[in-house]
Structure 1
Amino acid sequence: MSAPLLTDQAGPPTKSLARPWAGLLVLATTIFVVVTTELLPVGLLTPISDDLGVARSRVGLLVTVYAFTVGLTAAPLTHWTAAWPRKRLYMTVSAAFSLGTVLSAAAESYPMLAIGRFLCGMAHGVFWSIVAGYAAALAKPGRSSRTTAIVFAGNSAALVLGVPLGTVLGNVVGWRGAFCAAAALGLGALAAAQRLLPDIPNRSAPPQSAGLGGALRLPGLRSMVTATALLVLGHFTVYTYVTPLLHDAAAFSEAATSMLLALYGLAGFLGTWLGGVLGDRRPHTVLLGTIALMAGSLVLLGASVRLQPLAVVAVALWGVAFAALPVTLQSSVLRLGATAPDAASAWYVSAFNLGIGGGALTGGLLSSSPVAMLPWTALIPLVPAFVFAWSTRAAFPHPPSR
């Protein structure tokens, strides 16, 4: 089975939108729900642990297992559903994700919660494999990075608003109430998608790019997928343990640490916007610049961990860099995999989530070492990631003329 063509050149949707931004808003809202739901166990670790009578480490394991579920199922499930009409597939995976969230809210035991999370994880992988292509299909020619940034703003909003509000709600009304709220918002977005999202026509991909294996043979794509896994591995090696890094090593108070994490999220809005605005002009240069900014922010964080003013600057720059990274990486994948966007995105999603799980495990293995060493450790995979990303320059298509 071949993936449908969902690029700037794919042509207009079969049914035009009366309000062009409405479909993008639906996609962004669904991303907000998906990311918020994915990370809810992090903020509600203690309430879930106390209620279900399991260790907090087992609740935390749900996040790692979730990431590996996405990483291992995204590519095969996306390949299996490649012939499905795009809107039907989007509606199906969104409904499956909502069902998994409802099951999580209704869980009376740890195994039932794990089943709900597993269902969400399988739906999550396919969702992320198609959402950027869907957004690109709604974009004007040459505006795929900008459109992707608009949709990915839902990710930044989830980090800044969704997870903190979900945590507060869970502590007030119970953790199940937080999952119920996420499910309700997801079902509302599902209803809006049915009304506002257009159908996207299926197009046959050329034989050389058909299937998952064929997508990896597209010039530059394998290197970009590898760079993605390495970059996310480095990031989550630090980010998973950023609270003890800031609180214990940098000596920030709990209130100050919370404010720094909010600053990180707010800086993410700027990074998402910059990635979208600049990515359409010089996509490869912006990608390399984003990786360099991320490396620089980690160097500054490692060097200034006991110099609080510089640590604040480092956290802000880190937030800008990592928020811009998914926009530039996803846009690069869509460019390199223009003839098989869903298959290319599936590999990207798998690499991204394997990087999340691997980074969390790496940080955990290093937790017995001084936590101040984590930023320096995270730099190790960033060096080959930069090399892999740089090596794809010749494969990048020229941006269409305006």
Structure 2
Amino acid sequence: MRSETTAQPTLPHSRVDHDKLPLGALLALATAVFITSLTETLPAGVLPAMSADLGVGESAMGQSVTIYAVGTALTAIPLSAATSGWRRKRLLLTAMAGFAAANTVTAASTAYPLTMVARFVAGVAAGLAWALLAGYARRLAPPHLQGKAIAIVMTGIPVALSLGVPAGTFLGDLLGWRVTFSLMTALAVALIGWIAAVVPEQPGQRQEGRPPMLRALRVPGVVPVLFVTLVFVLAHTILYTYIATFLAHLGMGGSTDLVLLVFGGASMVSIWIVGAHIDRRLRALTVASTLLVAVAATTLALLAESSALVFVAVALWGLGWGGVPTLLQTAVADAGGDAADAAQAMLVTLWNAAMAGGGVAGGVLLDLFGSTSFPWAVLGLLLPVLAVVSAARAHGFPKRRGSVA
């Protein structure tokens, strides 16, 4: 999850209409979010096949998600600074070209090290894309519709989870996992043409006067949001990265695509609810999201012998998780105030550090304790998340938002 907020003036031609949303452009940006999200999480659905084909264990193959996140975490801040003067459209097209190249190499690679290099490059491309997508959406919309514009763009995440990963898993089972990555290349190439045709240009931004990272950390509310981001994403990633392995242990390996479909569908419902109520109920929605994922983890830990309850738990998990990216980036932007750009950059880095940490931690848990340890780890991590959200009443997760886009 990565984003950029800005209060910089836009070019006169960059707004399609001061009373309407430029849906064509926003849907192109949503597709870019879809590609970045699907490229990141697709190995979770085809992990056993990838590990068998490349001759490595599943815990080692799970690091293909980790290395992607490492690429983003290491490069998001420096690349964002280095390309701040670039025009936004040019930068977004460059990022999409990076995805096309990385997925092509992943599809063709027969060597584990080369695959990992390609995954790292894809993560670097994601660092470029996520550093500008939310800010791009805000700048394309009139002020009173900026929140809705971001919500439209962020639908790319649940669509990737609800349709993309299950479809990729199904195609991987049917035609081979390499086909799924080849299709990702084709989609990225098509999106490049779409962006070139319909997305308005936006200027770059000067770096002068930007608040430093340390100043952002001193702003009340920023640290609690960043802590929640790190731990919540870590908890989610531990289970999601190895969901195919977890389901195989339960004897539900053949239902991985259906389970992911249920998760993604619930995530879409979640982001719709969050988009409708975030301006008035950010705190309540964040607490509810944490509790829903905790209940899901408890169910998977204690009642996973029942396939029906596994599907119920996954639905609750998706319902809790789907709106979390929007909730956290809105919370950090509100808390950051004048330091919002720096706070958002740190959120990008911590999000991906958590993704990387989740892949590593999940692999360690799998080797030491088996896949049944995943739900317990999720539950243990969510307890401090709930405590911090509950405590950050004045800043970070206030009952009423201080400023609404």
TM-score by length of structure 2 reads: 0.85
- Looking at structure 1, the residues matched to 222 and 51 of structure 2 have their Cα atoms a distance apart, in angstroms, of 41
- Looking at structure 1, the residues matched to 235 and 72 of structure 2 have their Cα atoms a distance apart, in angstroms, of 19
Partner of 1:294: 293
1:104 Cα deviation from its structure 2 partner: 2.6
Partner of 1:332: 331
Structure 2 stretches lacking a partner, 5+ long? none
Q: Could you tell me which amino acid in structure 2 is paired with residue 274 of structure 1? A: I
Q: Could you tell me which amino acid in structure 2 is paired with residue 35 of structure 1? A: S
Partner of 1:80: 82
For the pair 1:233 / 2:234, whether they are aligned, the reply is yes
Q: Among 54, 58, 61, which residue is 1:59 paired with? A: 61
1:45 Cα deviation from its structure 2 partner: 3.8
Structure 1 stretches lacking a partner, 5+ long? none
1:25 Cα deviation from its structure 2 partner: 0.3
Partner of 1:263: 262
- Looking at structure 1, the residues matched to 308 and 335 of structure 2 have their Cα atoms a distance apart, in angstroms, of 40
Contact 2:216 2:222 in 1 (8 A): yes
- Looking at structure 1, the residues matched to 208 and 277 of structure 2 have their Cα atoms a distance apart, in angstroms, of 30
Partner of 2:382: 382
1:304-353 deviation digits (Å, cap 9, x = unpaired): 33455444322211111111111211222232335355433321122112
**Structure-to-structure mapping, 1:3-402, within 5 angstroms:** 6=6, 14-17=13-16, 20-49=22-51, 51-202=53-204, 207=209, 209-248=210-249, 251=250, 253-256=252-255, 258-367=257-366, 368-369=368-369, 371-395=371-395, 397-400=401-404
Contact 2:69 2:355 in 1 (8 A): yes
Moved more, 160-169 or 189-198: 160-169
TM-score by length of structure 1 reads: 0.85
- Count of aligned pairs between the two proteins: 395
Q: Could you tell me which amino acid in structure 2 is paired with residue 242 of structure 1? A: I
Contact 1:216 1:222 in 2 (8 A): yes
Contact 1:205 1:340 in 2 (8 A): no
1:71 Cα deviation from its structure 2 partner: 2.0
1:78 Cα deviation from its structure 2 partner: 1.8
Q: Could you tell me which amino acid in structure 2 is paired with residue 38 of structure 1? A: E
1:240-297 deviation digits (Å, cap 9, x = unpaired): 333454453xx56444554333211111110111111111223233223322332233
1:144 Cα deviation from its structure 2 partner: 4.2
SS at match of 1:200: coil
Residues 1:126 and 1:202: Cα distance change in structure 2 (over 3 Å): closer
Residues 1:172 and 1:311: Cα distance change in structure 2 (over 3 Å): closer
1:301 Cα deviation from its structure 2 partner: 3.5
Q: Could you tell me which amino acid in structure 2 is paired with residue 234 of structure 1? A: A
